[in-house]
Amino acid sequence: MASDRAPEASAPLNGSELDTASADRRKELAARAAAELVCDGMKVGLGTGTTVAHLLSALGERATELSHAGFVATSPATERIARELGLGVCELDELVGNGGELDIAIDGADQIDPDAWLIKGGGGAHTREKIVAAAARRFVVIVSTDKLVASLRPPVPLEVLPFGAHRTLAALGDARLRDGPASPDGNLLAFYDGPIEDPRALAARLSDTPGVVEHGLFAPELVSEVLIGAEDGTQRRPGGKPAE
Ligand code: 5RP
């Protein structure tokens, strides 16, 4: 089962580490701003992690008002919390299996660079998270300022098929299995530790490696906007996906 544990450390843009309480307050600010984008009747994708936990709390406070909304969870942890809060959790295919789209998906990130490239998967749910982000008309990323980086840094989370996993990691070079539970779909979780000079080239290489189910690099064109919880409120940045 995917956990809600804190993500791998990233290199902060401003060179300062935030203490846990400050980072958590900023995550909550971004999450609450994103919760306001959700209206009754919407089809909504929910990510995974500690920032999303704040989103779930904010949505849970409005569970009665949102009784006709359908929520897709990207991990067992998110699904359990969402159900406990009274949100109507559905399967992705129930909501958009006929080729439709989610109205919105909201998720955290481990790192985000100035071009809106993301590293995700600190909680091991990046495969489902990418499927849900790609199924959404609008994908909103919620982060605290310490997730902003000048350039992406390893490790990049990987989900790897158990069959031939050591061969898959050897083919990648700088890669290792992660400690901890399997992915929500029973695959192995790993890290790619090599350099990320060109995220698009690396994303293509990881995708092209047989046995890699999915990697945690999310391209800017998936991202509609970024809500950044900062000391003095929430800032908005456009992603690389054109607004409708
Ligand atoms: C889970 C993720 C999370 O969004 C990412 O790890 C950020 O987590 P948090 O909100 O706990 O800082 O990608 O797979």
**pLDDT per residue as tens, the chain (244 positions):** 333 333 333 444 444 568 899 999 999 999 999 999 999 999 999 999 999 999 999 999 999 999 999 999 999 999 999 999 999 999 999 999 888 999 999 999 999 999 999 999 999 999 999 999 999 999 999 999 999 999 999 999 999 999 999 999 999 999 999 999 999 999 999 999 999 999 999 999 999 999 999 999 999 999 999 999 999 999 999 999 988 7
Could you tell me if 146 and 234 are in contact, meaning their C-beta atoms sit under 8 angstroms apart?
A: no
Q: Is the CB of 122 under 6 A from ligand 1?
A: yes
Q: Determine the pLDDT at residue 91.
A: 97
Radius of gyration of the chain (CA): 17
Q: Is the CB of 30 under 6 A from ligand 1?
A: no
Residue 131, pLDDT score: 98
Which residues, at least 6 apart from 169, have a Cβ–Cβ distance to it below 8 Å? 160, 175, 176, 177, 190
Closest atom, ligand 1, to C-alpha of 142: 10
Rounded Cα distance between 124 and 188, Å, is 9
- Please indicate whether residue 184, judged by its CB atom, sits closer than 6 Å to ligand 1: no
62 C-beta closer than 6 A to ligand 1: no
User: How high is the pLDDT of residue 12?
Assistant: 46
Separation of alpha carbons 51 and 3, rounded Å: 13
- One-letter identity of residue 49: G
Q: What is the pLDDT of residue 15?
A: 42
Query: Against a cut of 0.75, is the pTM above it?
Result: yes
Instruction: State how far the Cα of 214 lies from the Cα of 196, in Å rounded to an integer.
Output: 16
H or E element, residue 154: none
- Interacting residues of 201 by C-beta distance below 8 A, sequence separation 6+: none
Among 110, 127, 143, say which to mutate for ligand 1: greatest number of ligand atoms within 8 Å of CB: 110
Cβ pair 101, 72 in contact under 8 A: no
The answer to whether residues 206 and 196 touch, using CB atoms and an 8 Å cutoff, is no
3-state secondary structure of 87: coil
Q: Are the beta carbons of 58 and 31 closer than 8 angstroms?
A: yes
Instruction: Give yes or no for residue 49 CB within 6 A of ligand 1.
Output: yes
CA 110 / ligand 1 centre spacing (Å)? 6
* pLDDT at 226 (0 to 100): 98
- Atom of ligand 1 lying closest to residue 147 CA: 12
* Index of the ligand 1 atom closest to the CA of residue 125: 14
pLDDT for 244 equals 73
Handedness of CA 194, 198, 203, 206 (dihedral sign): negative
Residue 44 falls in which region: left (phi positive, over 0), alpha (psi -120 to 50) or beta: beta
> How many angstroms separate the alpha carbon of residue 215 from the centre of ligand 1?
14
Q: Please list the active-site residues.
A: 129
Give, using CA atoms, the residue closest to atom 8 of ligand 1.
Answer: 49
How many alpha carbons fall within 13 Å on the CB side of residue 205? 16
Check residue 243 and give its pLDDT.
81
Q: Distance from the CA of 77 to the center of ligand 1, in angstroms?
A: 12
Taking alpha carbons only, the member of 152, 159, 150, 158 closest to residue 196 is 152
